[in-house]
Amino acid sequence: MDNGVFGRMRFSRQILILQIGVVVLLLAVGLALVSWLLWGTLREQYGERALGIAHTVAVDPVVVANAAARRPGGELEQQVQAVTARTGALFVVITDDRGIRLAHPDVSQIGKLVSTDPSEALAGKDVVSAVQAGTLGQSVRSKTPIRTADDRIVGEVSVGYEIGAATGDLGRLILTCALFAVGALALGVGASALLTRRLNRLTHGLEPRELTELLYEREAVLHGIGEGMLAVDAVGRVSARNDEAERLLGKPLPVGAQVSELDLSPRLGKAVAERQQVDNLLAVAGNRVLVVNSRAVRRDERDLGTVLTFRDRTDLDALTRELDAVRSLSDGLRAQRHEFSNRLHTLSGLLQLGHNGEAIEYLQTLTDTSMLSPGAIGDSVTDPYLQALLVAKIEQAQEKGVTLGLSDDSWVPATVTDPIAVNTVVGNLLDNALHAARMGSRRPSTVEIALLDEGTTLHVSVMDSGAGIAPDLRDTLFDEGVSTKIAPGHGLGLALARQAARARGGDVWLADAGGADRGALFVAALPELLEGEA
């Protein structure tokens, strides 16, 4: 198979072929090594067997006597044939001290010099497991000297086994090993096939180059979009995130960390825990308002986790609130202009009809009204933005049948440096107070706000005539999603107010939860918000 064809194969098939090749190579090398070791072992065993027979023959008195007398044939020949028949050896050869055969299975070879070197045995040494070729062919043979009683060497005994005997045993052992190798090969191929199948299942059949491209695309998508993205696996661990998600949430999101340990806002934590589809959920993270979308991800009936996306709508929310304040102020001024026009027309009619006394009484009634006017606000609060906000909320309060008043001890002769923060904190506190007063059972429904500056810090307190805060809400009142309002879509006002205050180093808290004889009192401290007296 050429490299081009191999290179065009699927990666899983290449892995399978390589694994099979490795298994075959290892088995072949192992079988060769085992064969070599078995051959050596068998040769030694046959050599030791031949040496044992040679020792037995060499100490036989008849053999010693005939070898010493150099008498060929006769008794020696009978002895050789008996031993050969009894042991199954290929040959038993006896020589004198010159290497001349005295006994041999082939009687025609008696009296001739042996075909292999007898010097080592005649020198008094045993020769073990020597594979040599003689007149009867190749054999595994051993030799030992024949000694007399006075330790004189008078000849040698050579015993050999046909090489085929050892080879036959080796063949049977190799066949057994080969059967084992075939079984191991089948097991290895099966395991490789299963491993390849699992690899395909884990990678969904994707090739390495495709996985590499997916990685590049993943990084491009994660870090190339303007939204924050957080992926959570099926067991609640962070599996992927981009830099924008960490920036918007204001905290690191290490891959592999449990989401439950990241101290996310309650709404985000609930979206992850419930793993339901969420569209445009508003959540607070630090001093930001985020729009959250959540989707559960599944593939081939397998749960892959949840993906959340975040969009920052802090600036949009601030602009929206500022626009609402301006619109409220505009509506209030329009209503006041209409009311002022009606009053002027009434006064003009009285004067034209000559009812001077009634006109004076009407003017006194207008002057003594207890309703808080923009002019009255200017005496204690000089900042135009605070004035506009208060006038707008007064008009809202009148529409709801609630009286909003500025406390007599209010005094803010300074300019606000951050109108957005004021609108977020004061506006949300007043909105909640107006709702509580309107929904409460006390009449008349009232809300009183006190504003006081201390250097560059603005202190705010808002009290309503509502029913107070229920005990089960007091500890979680500032958590996002917690609201005293029945209608859906609420639960961010107080959370935003506290977050905005704390972002400046201040705070918002519940000073008095209220009860049967009084409403709730909320207090806020906003440092570095005033720049000096006007």
Please report the pLDDT score of residue 482 as a whole number: 52
Distance CA 478, CA 491 (A): 8
Q: CA Rg, the chain, in Å?
A: 54
What are the average pLDDT values for consecutive 10-residue runs of the chain, which has 534 residues? 56 70 76 69 71 84 82 79 80 85 82 82 78 59 85 86 61 72 75 75 68 66 72 84 81 83 76 77 74 81 82 66 63 61 76 80 63 56 84 83 89 86 87 89 90 91 90 77 45 77 88 83 91 59
**Pairing between strand 402-406 and 137-147?**
unpaired
Please report the pLDDT score of residue 165 as a whole number: 53
Instruction: Quote the pTM value.
Output: 0.45
Please report the pLDDT score of residue 486 as a whole number: 37
Distance CA 3, CA 439 (A): 83
**Pairing between strand 402-406 and 91-96?**
unpaired
284-341: per-residue pLDDT in tens?
A: 776 677 878 888 887 777 778 888 888 877 656 656 666 665 665 566 566 556 566 7
Please report the pLDDT score of residue 446 as a whole number: 92
Please report the pLDDT score of residue 489 as a whole number: 39
Please report the pLDDT score of residue 370 as a whole number: 38
Instruction: Give the number of residues written for the chain.
Output: 534
Closest CA to 522 of 462, 436, 465, 476: 462
Q: Which tokens belong to 201?
A: 């299942």
> Among the residues of 440-527, which ranges form H helices?
493-503
Please report the pLDDT score of residue 336 as a whole number: 59
Please report the pLDDT score of residue 452 as a whole number: 92
Please report the pLDDT score of residue 84 as a whole number: 80
Please report the pLDDT score of residue 522 as a whole number: 94
Q: How far apart are the first and last CA of the chain?
A: 91
